[in-house]
Amino acid sequence: MTRFLIGILIFIGADLFAQEKQNFNDGRDSFSIYASSKGNDLMAFEAYAGIKGTPFLVDTWSIGSIVLKNGDVFDNLRLKYDMNEDNVLVWDKTDKKIFPSRNITKSFNFTDSTGVSHFFINISEKEYKFEIGIDFGFFELLYNGKTKLLAKRKKYLHHVEPKGGYSDNKSYDEFRSESPKYYWVDNKGKLFELKKGKKNILNLLKDDGSLEAYIKKEKIKLNKEQDIVQLIQHYDTEYLK
């Protein structure tokens, strides 16, 4: 799936012109030390023992970068996104696995083992204060053009509830996925929840018939994430010239 990372270059590039900002090209040694030295809370990671599944978006470690709210950039980090904690997990060369406080993290990005790039923004950061009713957590930026498309991804820990026997015949706790929630930000910065389904999406985009014709021509199935991204990109190109 194609991801659009224009935002990374904009966000990082602007900060690097400031003298006090730093870019740590090999941040694996220095991230936890630096973050601790700034008085930031770091939560040590403890393995999820005895639980079926994992809370991660991608189970394997990926190489990526973190941008802090003060503008400092840490590259070449080993990262995972924990969808239960809604936080990025960092493994540095000192063998520490830590969750930095969300209060210090502006964004992070990584490329997984299949070559797919992921870019997450902290929605509470003032730069991302869209006109919305949500103000916390990390959202994946799927498309960043004249309009934007965001996804909120979530896993939760389901606990066994014994009732004489075990509920639903399972004797273990497990991580379960929730369906992603999608949000569309129009070119004025106002955010709307985008619910799957052709009718819902076309109503939101105020289609005059040309989008529906494009969907038919391209044989787009709007129950797939990549097809929604394709349609939003087409909307930007054709509707917002």
DSSP codes of every residue in 14-33:
HHHTSTT--EETTTTTTHHH
Q: How far apart are CA 41 and CA 46, in angstroms?
A: 16
pLDDT at 88: 95
- Pairing of β 73-82 and β 97-100: unpaired
At residue 235, the 3 state secondary structure works out as helix
Q: How far apart are CA 176 and CA 109, in angstroms?
A: 23
Residue environment code for 31-46, b if the CB has 16+ CB neighbours within 10 A, otherwise e: bbebbeeeeeebeebe
Q: How far apart are CA 232 and CA 4, in angstroms?
A: 12
Q: Which amino acid is at 186?
A: D
- pLDDT, tens digit, 9 for 90 and up, residues 58-71: 999 999 999 988 88
Spans of the chain, pLDDT less than 70: 1-21, 25-29, 38-46, 129, 131-135, 162-170
pLDDT at 125: 79
pLDDT at 129: 66
β partners of residue 73: 23, 67
pLDDT at 26: 63
